[in-house]
Structure 1
Amino acid sequence: MPTSETVAKLYDEMDFQRAVQCYLWALPIVSWEGGRQANEANFGADYDDVTLYGDYRTLSTAFTPNLTTPYSWAFLHLAEQGPTVVEMPPGATAGAIIDWWERPITDVGLVGPDQGRGGKYLLVGPGQDTPEAPGFHVFRSRTVHVPFFFRVLNPEADDAEAIKAGVRIYPYSRHEDPPPTRHIDSARDGELRTMVPPGGLAYWERLAEALAGEPGEDRDRFFRAMLRSLGIEAGKPFQPDERQRKLLIEGALVGEAIAKTCAFHRRFVGIRYRPDVRWNYLISPDWALNQDVDDYTQLEERSTFAYEVLAMSAGSMPTKPGTGQTYLCAYWDADGQVLDGAKSYRLHVPPNPPAERFWAVTVYDLDTRCFIQNKEEIPERSSRTGLKANDDGSVDVYFGPTAPAGLESNWIPTVPGKAWFTYLRLYGPLQPFFDRSWVLPDIETLQ
């Protein structure tokens, strides 16, 4: 018979292991709850309001965005509003409506059912009756909370403003006379709240908030059972005792370390873009958009993605050249060393990058996964920002604390003492990307 000391030790060990696994399981909804809270704190936004993350300051609160195509965000609450309409105007946009667990419900814009012609999307929540809605694209969400985001792809300011102003969100019950949608174009003054999940006990407080009102799914029943022993239970306030607090804090610490390991040392089959370079695909080639395959749910794939990125869409896994967008990631230089903010580097982008619309290189802080915070407020260079090209049409992008003489337009400032990583985005990727005939060299250390 186990002694009382052994019993206490083993229960602590079991609940600590549960905390670590629940940390990884919960990353998508903790991140999205962070996004909702940031939207509220930074913009004063409520559900169904549309906010614009359009500059370096506001986008610095988000996970791995790009600066070339500013984002608009909104959050729906289908339990409060009932079936809800998202109305997209015509125009070149890319975005998605997704559920609380990072599963795309539908893309909108060029890759969505409206194909850029504009359309009305009706979202129906769990347990709600589906209205007869001719002329609407009707989709059912498995969660009560529904995030929505989009980007305007054309750079013309007038077109972009008209498209953004044309987005409307309203309850379907009022579709015959829709109320106006509130668009909030600038964040509040002062320090902005980040979407990055907090550490320690605050992670679990946010998880309890994210789970509130959400129906459980069969695939999550064991995780919800594990959370009960840690003080998180549906319909009850989160009030952990001292023992639970200690285990939760330790579990969050180890959970984040595992998530960072999974993100920056991915072990998925086929994750390398080419065997002769260190560039990885951001999204595992065998990723299932709904995260479920024949006999399991892609838990590690999901937590890896959610640690580093917010907002999944079908358009991020294009199969047809010239559509959607794709991402290559670099966490190391050509010698396999961590990218150091105190050193200088060069990325040689060969001629004719396989992107129909544009390409961009963006630098992120390794710890926050947000834009690198440099005094110049330059985290990105793209084919739309006036890069200086070489005679053969190739482009050299430079990273480092000081700009190379005469090539300031090609330079992204880094910060000594901060490790970083980068994405190469291809909007409208072309066949040389899909067949991997376009070779992107590794990042070269200059000093």
Structure 2
Amino acid sequence: MDSQLIRDAFVYVQPLVETRRQHLMHNSTLGPDNALFAFRTLVDHTHRNVPSPNSDTAYTAFGYNLADGPLVIEFPEVESERYWVLPFYDAFTNVYASFGTRTKRGRPGPHLLVGPGYDGELPADVEVITSPTERGAMLGRFLVYGPDDLAAVHRLQDAMSVTPLSDWLAGKRGMTYTGEQPWPGRGAEVPDAKGDPASFWRMVDEMLPGTPIPERDREYFARFAPLGLTESGFTEPADPAVRDALYRGTLDGWKFLEGMAADQTQAEKLGVHFLHRNGWDWSAVGSDPDNTGVRDYGTDYLLRAWVNTLYYGMLPPEEALYPTSFGDDTGARLNGAEHAYTLTVDTADLPNRPDGFWSVTLYGTDGYMVDNPAKRFKVGSHDADLTPDSDGRITITVAHEQPADTKANWLPAPASEFYLMFRAYLPVSAVVAGTYPFPQVTRRH
């Protein structure tokens, strides 16, 4: 059996499996499909669903399955100064619609989310959002200015709802879960798609019905039929040799993607284009220069799978970019057991537009925030207690121990290796182009 064919098939369907896996994790810990979940607190070290989460915004999200009909989504009235975005992802993780500050879409009132080919009832005065696939997700963010601002964000979350059309026509409103309500699905086991190839392909089989293969992909996708993979689903190959080769190739496929995620040079050699500046690296993938709120990976299946290995729910670069830094100005890996570091943000030349924001977040090598006594996981432009330098710039100290000469600008580091992510929401054009001079992470001692 052709190992490259197996690799190609794995890479193509990996986003479908990640979408299904995210749905199942959501169902196991948060709430059911087709129901809104509102995170009432900012994400911290206990959040383990999605790698590299932010602690700047309150997430409001739902996974959907439109097999039983459309959903009515009600949007809140958001004050003009608050950044917000509600992006919709199809099963392939393309962003096909987005509402919020950048696109200036999202009038208060009902919006109807329908699946591919829907030709049923359309209520009057309802904006239609058409998902290319029956399954998908919305992963919304509302900027939070600090703990005292959470109550205002809760009011925005409470003004949102997701309701099946039939219920909405009957005057009902969908329930919003906040983690406080028990429900029967909580605690259900999530299949191990990475360690168990049979579970991986079972998820593919669950996802393909209701997930039309795009016309541009059909000839490419048809090559996978000898593996049991067709547009109608997946059937385990009858030939044990083919089945064993497919399952071995699935495990190898995960190692391949995780190797790309761990070693950027390997990803670059395989065609993932990175931008580099002052020790920060980022990739402006799936651009949206026309400000339509859409990001489509096209036929770059490898890029799509690489992104989903690292950043499920990634936004278009014009919405947000996430440069990462793993090393200091000497080229050594960042390590809180050995050194402290500083980086200085030039407030006269910010990476974000005035209606956006910036922040620096610290993650352990596993991609999640690290617990610390101060419970401080990021430093950002909307932190009220930032202390500027005499020239107005902002110097951030990253260290395991709190330095004597700073408190508000301290980002606690673990006594081990870590990396930093510099978020720029609504980045200026120089960031998207790769020419913006992000501040060098400098070894302090």
* Common topology (TM > 0.5): yes
SS at match of 2:322: strand
C-alpha separation in 2, matches of 1:437 and 1:152: 28
SS at match of 1:252: helix
Describe the superposition over 1:210-267 as per-residue Cα deviations: whole angstroms up to 9, x where unpaired.
4454333334446655655555564456588545433332333234323544588546
C-alpha separation in 1, matches of 2:345 and 2:421: 13
Equivalent position to 1:310, from 305, 309, 312:
312
Distance apart, 1:354 and its partner CA? 4.1
Equivalent position to 1:369, from 359, 364, 367:
367
C-alpha separation in 2, matches of 1:149 and 1:100: 13
Distance apart, 1:303 and its partner CA? 2.5
Is the 1:59–1:67 contact (alpha carbons within 8 Å) kept by the matching residues of 2? no
- Report the CA distance shift for 1:343/1:207 in structure 2 as closer, same or farther (over 3 A): farther
- Report the CA distance shift for 1:235/1:310 in structure 2 as closer, same or farther (over 3 A): closer
C-alpha separation in 2, matches of 1:147 and 1:371: 24
Is the 1:42–1:193 contact (alpha carbons within 8 Å) kept by the matching residues of 2? no
Q: Provide structure 1 residue ranges, at least 5 long, that are not aligned to the other structure.
A: 1-10, 319-323
Equivalent position to 2:85, from 82, 94, 97:
94
User: What does 1:33-432 align with in structure 2 at a 5 Å threshold?
Assistant: 33-52=20-39, 54=41, 55-56=43-44, 59-80=47-68, 82-91=69-78, 92=82, 93-112=84-103, 114-115=105-106, 117-129=107-119, 131-153=121-143, 155=145, 156-186=149-179, 198-199=194-195, 201=197, 203-211=200-208, 213-221=210-218, 224-225=221-222, 228-230=225-227, 234-235=232-233, 241-261=243-263, 265-266=267-268, 271-272=274-275, 274=277, 277-284=278-285, 289-291=294-296, 297-313=299-315, 316-318=316-318, 324-344=319-339, 345-352=341-348, 353-355=350-352, 356=354, 357-366=356-365, 368-374=366-372, 377-385=375-383, 386-418=385-417, 420-430=418-428
What's the RMSD between the two structures over aligned residues?
3.7
Distance apart, 1:140 and its partner CA? 1.8
- Report the CA distance shift for 1:122/1:236 in structure 2 as closer, same or farther (over 3 A): same
TM score, norm. by length of structure 1? 0.79
C-alpha separation in 2, matches of 1:53 and 1:207: 33
Bigger mean CA deviation after superposition, 84-93 or 280-289: 280-289
C-alpha separation in 1, matches of 2:256 and 2:326: 21
Distance apart, 1:41 and its partner CA? 0.8
C-alpha separation in 1, matches of 2:429 and 2:119: 43
Distance apart, 1:177 and its partner CA? 3.4
Bigger mean CA deviation after superposition, 212-221 or 100-109: 212-221
Bigger mean CA deviation after superposition, 148-157 or 232-241: 232-241
Is the 1:61–1:370 contact (alpha carbons within 8 Å) kept by the matching residues of 2? no
Distance apart, 1:48 and its partner CA? 2.5
Q: In structure 2, what residue type is equivalent to 1:61?
A: N
Distance apart, 1:166 and its partner CA? 0.9
C-alpha separation in 2, matches of 1:66 and 1:192: 26
SS at match of 2:169: coil
Describe the superposition over 1:257-315 as per-residue Cα deviations: whole angstroms up to 9, x where unpaired.
235445885466974255xx23233423757845366xxx22233223222212244xx
Distance apart, 1:73 and its partner CA? 1.0
- Report the CA distance shift for 1:188/1:33 in structure 2 as closer, same or farther (over 3 A): farther
Q: In structure 2, what residue type is equivalent to 1:31?
A: E
- Report the CA distance shift for 1:162/1:261 in structure 2 as closer, same or farther (over 3 A): same
Identity of aligned residues (%): 21
C-alpha separation in 2, matches of 1:423 and 1:219: 35
- Report the CA distance shift for 1:287/1:162 in structure 2 as closer, same or farther (over 3 A): closer
Is the 2:194–2:254 contact (alpha carbons within 8 Å) kept by the matching residues of 1? no
Provide the residue aligned with 2:7 in structure 1: 20
Distance apart, 1:203 and its partner CA? 4.3
Q: In structure 1, what residue type is equivalent to 2:398?
A: F
C-alpha separation in 2, matches of 1:390 and 1:61: 37
SS at match of 2:275: coil
Is the 2:74–2:162 contact (alpha carbons within 8 Å) kept by the matching residues of 1? yes
Describe the superposition over 1:339-382 as per-residue Cα deviations: whole angstroms up to 9, x where unpaired.
3453432222223334324321012334x433345565433122
Aligned length: 418
Equivalent position to 2:439, from 426, 438, 441:
441
- Report the CA distance shift for 1:119/1:425 in structure 2 as closer, same or farther (over 3 A): farther
